[in-house]
Structure 1
Amino acid sequence: MEYNKNFYQIRSNDNIFKRIKDERATVGYYDLPYQDTSKIKAYVETVTQQHIVVLGIGGSSLGAKAIYEFLLPANHYQKDLVFLETVDPLKINHCLAKLDIKNAHFVVISKSGDTIETISLFKYLRALIEINSDNCTIISEAKTGLSKFAQDNHITTFELSANIGGRFSVFSVVGLVPLAMVGVDIDNLLNGARRVSDSFFIQQDYYQPIISKARFLVENKGRFNINAIFSYSSALEGFNKWYVQLWAESLGKLNINKTRQALTPIALIGPIDQHSFLQLIIDGVRDKTVTFIKIADLKDDTIIPKSSENLGLEYAEGLSFNDLLNKQADATIQSVKDQEDIPCDVITVSTVDEYNIAKLMFSYQLLVSTIGQFLQINTYNQPGVEKGKIILKESLKETFT
């Protein structure tokens, strides 16, 4: 009988922590909270256009979009940030119809310099309007075709380091440049990320929750292999999409023994999804963990007014919608806890600002890196995604010839 080893030893927390610390020598995102932003801030002061249009897909757009959509309802930016991240022509032209492209600045982001969606969009825009050093910024690795184009046309370029993967790039120039252009406080963003990083690496308050959660998910992945986040604010919809990419593309891998690993992400918005998916969580198969995310202060005091009409629910009158939202979250959390066999935890974001969204996002990056070390996988590659890109390129080349 041939015996194939299909298991691995789950290493100690101390061993995993050492491995994470060692990763800092080669994985670039760990250093991002400590960078100097003076060059970025000086440059964005020269950008005068009203519309900042990001051409990018996946890790080149999801992080910045998550932060912008989180901050937007509570802030009044003088400029608007638009994301072109699809080759669906209906979506492209719908987005372009809503802005004055003559008053737009285009931020073209492609780590490899040859992302087909991004370059195709760029070519389309160049057919509509002259793009030059006055209305364009390029973000790419050094020596890519896109960087060479920028150099040839005297377009300002921000280099993305080769050791920073797209889904871990939100606190690099990929996220900071377009966000700074519309007025987001990028230094406060980095302050939040640095707060989490410092705490984790000197094993203070962020260390234990992250490493304990990572260990629990890995030790129980055979039973609880679906990981749902239940975000109680529409301001977190962008974060939810960013989380799905970060989680799925990082953790769906073959480990060192060629055993398939999978912790499947699901992203929900409360209270909308408590009227649908919650039923599956409560009465369905016990294969899910749930993380609830609340925002304590949405910076909005709109209340439910009193009514002279006989509409009922008088007990909710005078309550702020912020309080109602959090009370709905608390009720849902309690209903899940009452089951006593659904693993769940709660994250409370203090308020809507750069500091707090950065703390949330950087803690999730650290959590994913820690899980990857426990699983003994390469957290930072994406061979499954690359195969599809290769097939597409070969197909297009055949059609072209």
Structure 2
Amino acid sequence: MKLLYKTAHFTDQSIKKMSGVLEEYIAFLQDVARKNSYNQPESFINVPFDEKQINQVFTVNNLTVNQHLKYVLVLGIGGSSLGAKAIYDAIQGHYLLLQPEHFPKVFFMDTIDPDFRKHLEVLLKREAQTPEEVLITVVSESGTTLETRNNLEFLMQTFPHYKERVVILTNVDSPLWKEDCENPDKCLVVPRKVGGRYSVFTPVGMFPLSVVGVNILGLVEGAMEARKDGILPGVEENKALLSAVVSYMAYERGLTTQVSFVFNPKLESVGKWWCQLLAESLGKDGKGVTPLISVGTNDLHSMLQLYIDGPRDKFFNFISCESEMSREVRAVLSGVKKSFDEHKIPYTETILDRIDEHSLGYFMQTKMMEVIMLGKLMGINPFGQSAVEDYKKYARELLA
């Protein structure tokens, strides 16, 4: 992966000076990596190295996946589903509407919309003749997520014969664990210190992806490489540090909206994953960076006018994969960058080697490490999301 930053309009000297502010934090992350435990919120950086966890994923996979499997239902919301969906869409899912004979298919039940449920019910009753054709993965670290619990209740009431086709992913001793993990062979543990939006390389992401044949070893190998780079002391080799510093300097300049402009539609869900990671981690104490996702070339015909001729409050990251761009798309992206240069609009470029498991693993681990470094620079705790808990409390009161 390449990260190009000269067009961000910051000097190497200023970037290096700002990176020095994070010297102690980088040393702390090195210590977290050295201890290789789950004692700190930052311990998500150790997840890709957890062989026991990956082996447990493969064990449950072997117990539940069969040649008849047609539909995988992922019950989760926010960090419990966005990471898996990002990778699934990039590797398989984006074009599955054009491949009606491809199985198994994944449905991410990240909504409690009754119309969605109705159509899903009709599909399963028509197309799934036996329980072996369906696998339900329930993802809730706390075990109390309202939408996830509600979707599980709906499925068990509508399809009680699917009960033995349920796999639970949660914290040990959560309400979900206590209620549904009498059979530990169908339960996978999510480390308690690893927050949802940092959990893509735990079973939260790895299990459902393994079920549909995604190379999860390639993902964790890419993430391992990114972790090694992400604890290096200088911006020359540490892309997470470089990107965090440049983003912070843009923020300090008043560029409080960050636009991820992906030039491959398969990466749209990766952009949505990044939006949650950035917004939920840093939107606190009256501070924050507002993330947006745009898709090239589509959004050149809807958003580009605003981006170039609107308020100068935005910082851009063009994300592309050289090996998967046509001559026409490459020309369009070059034209957009030239237009940005002429209007002196700052941006960086992230160029993926390929859109495959290793590259995605490297990119996503780098971005997670970037956001905690950015939080440190902004004086914000990038873990927890107290404001999100309010609606849950009020909703439960109304439903009681």
Superposition TM-score tier, normalisation by shorter sequence: 0.7 to 0.9
| Structure number with larger C-alpha Rg | 1
* Cα distance change on mapping 1:192 and 1:261 into 2, 3 Å: same
Q: Match of 1:83, SS?
A: strand
**8 Å contact 2:235–2:241 — kept in the other structure?**
no
* Cα distance change on mapping 1:198 and 1:154 into 2, 3 Å: closer
**Number of the residue aligned with 2:385:** 382
Alignment counterpart, residue 392 of structure 1, candidates 375, 384, 395 = 395
**Number of the residue aligned with 1:92:** 117
Deviation at 1:88, TM superposition (A): 0.8
* Cα distance change on mapping 1:33 and 1:155 into 2, 3 Å: closer
1:232 aligns with 2:263: yes
**Number of the residue aligned with 1:370:** 373
Q: Match of 2:160, SS?
A: coil
**Number of the residue aligned with 1:313:** none
**Number of the residue aligned with 1:301:** none
Deviation at 1:327, TM superposition (A): 2.2
Deviation at 1:349, TM superposition (A): 1.2
Amino acid at match of 2:349: V
Deviation at 1:22, TM superposition (A): 5.1
* Cα distance change on mapping 1:206 and 1:242 into 2, 3 Å: farther
- 1:129-278 alignment runs, 5 A limit: 129-131=159-161, 134-152=164-182, 156-203=186-233, 207-222=237-252, 223-254=254-285, 260-278=286-304
Q: Match of 1:227, SS?
A: strand
Question: Could you give the per-residue CA deviations for residues 194-240 of structure 1, whole angstroms, max 9, x where no partner exists?
Answer: 11111122347774443233223323424111110100111011111
State the alpha-carbon separation in 2 of the partners of residues 29 and 395 from structure 1: 35
Shifted more, 15-24 versus 261-270: the winner is 15-24
Alignment counterpart, residue 288 of structure 1, candidates 314, 318, 322 = 314
State the alpha-carbon separation in 1 of the partners of residues 271 and 388 from structure 2: 20
* Cα distance change on mapping 1:204 and 1:197 into 2, 3 Å: farther
**8 Å contact 2:26–2:233 — kept in the other structure?**
no
Amino acid at match of 1:97: V
State the alpha-carbon separation in 2 of the partners of residues 247 and 234 from structure 1: 20
Alignment counterpart, residue 104 of structure 1, candidates 134, 139, 144 = 134
**Number of the residue aligned with 1:302:** none
Shifted more, 133-142 versus 70-79: the winner is 70-79
Higher helix share: 2
Question: Could you give the per-residue CA deviations for residues 240-264 of structure 1, whole angstroms, max 9, x where no partner exists?
Answer: 111110000001112xxxxx21111
Alignment counterpart, residue 13 of structure 1, candidates 18, 22, 38 = 22
Shifted more, 278-287 versus 213-222: the winner is 213-222
What TM-score does the superposition give when structure 2 sets the normalisation length? 0.84
Structure with the bigger RCO (C-alpha within 8 Å, sep 6+) is: 2
Aligned length: 361
- 1:71-86 alignment runs, 5 A limit: 71-72=91-92, 78-86=103-111
Q: Could you tell me the percent identity over the aligned residues?
A: 28
State the alpha-carbon separation in 1 of the partners of residues 354 and 196 from structure 2: 27
Across the aligned residues of Structure 1 and Structure 2, the Cα RMSD in angstroms comes to: 2.3
**Number of the residue aligned with 1:326:** 330
1:26 aligns with 2:40: yes
Deviation at 1:42, TM superposition (A): 3.0
**Number of the residue aligned with 2:88:** 68
What TM-score does the superposition give when structure 1 sets the normalisation length? 0.84
Q: Match of 1:351, SS?
A: coil
Alignment counterpart, residue 40 of structure 1, candidates 57, 76, 99 = 57
Q: Match of 1:106, SS?
A: strand
Shifted more, 116-125 versus 21-30: the winner is 21-30
State the alpha-carbon separation in 2 of the partners of residues 210 and 148 from structure 1: 38
Q: Structure 2, unaligned stretches of length 5 or more? A: 1-17, 34-38
Deviation at 1:45, TM superposition (A): 2.4
**8 Å contact 2:134–2:162 — kept in the other structure?**
no
Deviation at 1:93, TM superposition (A): 2.3
Deviation at 1:391, TM superposition (A): 1.7
Q: Match of 2:228, SS?
A: helix
Shifted more, 201-210 versus 372-381: the winner is 201-210
State the alpha-carbon separation in 1 of the partners of residues 197 and 317 from structure 2: 21
**Number of the residue aligned with 2:6:** none
Shifted more, 370-379 versus 170-179: the winner is 370-379
Deviation at 1:173, TM superposition (A): 0.4
Deviation at 1:154, TM superposition (A): 6.2
